[in-house]
A and B are shown apart, each in its own frame.
Chain A
Amino acid sequence: MKVFQAILGFWLTAVILCAFLFPIVPEITRWYEFPVIPGLEQKARILFFHVPLAWTSVVGFVVSVIFAIRYLRTKKLDDDIRSSSAAGLGLLFCALTTITGSIWAKFSWGSFWNWDPRETSIFVLLLIYGAYFALRSSVQEDDKKATLAAVYAIIAGVTMPFLMFVMPRIIASLHPDPIINTQGKVSMNGTMLTVFLSSLAGFTGLYFWIYSLTVRLARLEFKRSSEGE
């Protein structure tokens, strides 16, 4: 664990330094230079944070649904702790994605919010997370809370993909094609791609590190409240 923390800390520091400090030049001559992206210039750097954040918020949702399913099968409250911790972190990352995306949208598309399909999808994911916690807070009894929350996470997990493919037909997307797209082609400069993928890996690592801390904390609180009074 200690080793993992150290590596993660070093890794993310390196990623952040590279993302902010590598110069953006018109003609690349050295390995540490980023190309000029017309229309983005310095703003291109947000790519290294926005996309990994979006990615982790989806990871959070998927982890939450997986443990929700497991809770319903095992009825062990520990699975509920994992599920709700994953959702809590997912909510945080989802909010950060929305904010970074909205800032990017302002400078690239001209408005903070345009109900672009991606914006709508991430907004609805935010709503789902919100609803999940609203439901949890309205039930007092542990088992019931866990069951209802798990059921809601699963129903939302089933309907969410529909939104992702329905939305783009309602409004055209201005959002760039996904970096990791279906054609298997990556249109990115090598240095940028390396930093980007390192950032993706770093944020995923960060997610799972915070996740393990949250789970540990929740378990301790759980234990304390069972022994309390």
Chain B
Amino acid sequence: MTLVQLTASGLRKDFNRRPVFSDISFQLRPGQTLAVAGRNGSGKSTLLKIVASLLSPTAGTVTLTVGGNEVPARWMFRHIGMVAPYLHLYEEFTALENLSLIDRIRGAAHTAAEYEKLLAMVSLERRKHDVVRTFSSGMKQRLKYALAWMERPGLLLLDEPRTNLDADGISMVRSLFEEQRRDGIVIVATNEEDDAVMCDDTIEISAPRRGGMPPPAGEGS
């Protein structure tokens, strides 16, 4: 994995000209973790999507540098791993196929042994040949972790990290989190006190106006 540095400055996002949030700035270096807190609909997921360059901000910039060189927005995905409720897997494929197909689309080629290792890490090795449609929501969540972790991203974005997970799953997330914070960056969007306290820093986002924004259609909280 590569050492990355993330700078967000003056981020603002409007939906239909109504501000969701405004003026969010932060800077993260390797080893730093950040929690994003806020009520439902305050735009936590939106912020995460902007950081991942899946959405463009109305104003402000997100800069990701790798070894001092700025990464163009369209190539940022190479350094990002993301787990989120609105991120869905290909349900008609098996766990193993999801890993290998996405791996190829990313232009990488991990070995079968590496896939096995990832699946073992998220305790799905025994179901690797089952199609994802038959998985429970917790198992799907685990597979998303395997996908996010595959490239050992410099920046890990977790939206509601413990959604649908059992105690085992939560401890797996914790160990991933600790592993990532050794030399990478983690941003967690959460409603849970427990998740927030793990992080070095917390930013609280709220709509700039009275009466919070309704979330845009199809958004997670």
Q: Number of B residues contacting the other chain (C-beta, 8 Å)? A: 7
Main secondary structure of the interface of A (DSSP, over half): helix
Can you spell out 13 A-B residue pairs with CB atoms less than 8 angstroms apart?
A75-B56, A140-B16, A140-B217, A141-B15, A141-B16, A141-B216, A142-B16, A142-B17, A222-B17, A225-B16, A225-B17, A226-B17, A226-B18
**A142 to chain B: which residues have CB within 8 Å?**
16-17
Give complex CA distance A66, B17 in Å: 24
Q: What are the interface flags for B1-33 relative to A under an 8 Å C-beta threshold, 1 for contact and 0 otherwise? A: 000000000000001111000000000000000
Q: Number of A residues contacting the other chain (C-beta, 8 Å)? A: 7
Interface residues of B (CB under 8 A from A): 15-18, 56, 216-217
New contact pairs (6) apart from A140-B16, A140-B217, A142-B17, CB-CB < 8 Å: A141-B216, A142-B16, A222-B17, A225-B16, A225-B17, A226-B17
Task: Tell me, rounded to whole Å, the shortest Cβ–Cβ distance linking A221 to chain B.
Answer: 11
Give complex CA distance A75, B73 in Å: 16
Main secondary structure of the interface of B (DSSP, over half): loop
**B17 to chain A: which residues have CB within 8 Å?**
142, 222, 225-226
Give complex CA distance A140, B15 in Å: 10
Which residue of chain B is the closest to A145 with respect to CB atoms? B16
Give complex CA distance A21, B18 in Å: 55
Q: What are the interface flags for A217-228 relative to B under an 8 Å C-beta threshold, 1 for contact and 0 otherwise? A: 000001001100
Task: Tell me, rounded to whole Å, the shortest Cβ–Cβ distance linking B91 to chain A.
Answer: 26
**B56 to chain A: which residues have CB within 8 Å?**
75
Give complex CA distance A37, B120 in Å: 89
Which residue of chain B is the closest to A75 with respect to CB atoms? B56
**B18 to chain A: which residues have CB within 8 Å?**
226
**A141 to chain B: which residues have CB within 8 Å?**
15-16, 216
Task: Tell me, rounded to whole Å, the shortest Cβ–Cβ distance linking B71 to chain A.
Answer: 21
**B217 to chain A: which residues have CB within 8 Å?**
140
Give complex CA distance A222, B15 in Å: 13
Give complex CA distance A47, B18 in Å: 49
Which residue of chain A is the closest to B217 with respect to CB atoms? A140
Which residue of chain B is the closest to A226 with respect to CB atoms? B17
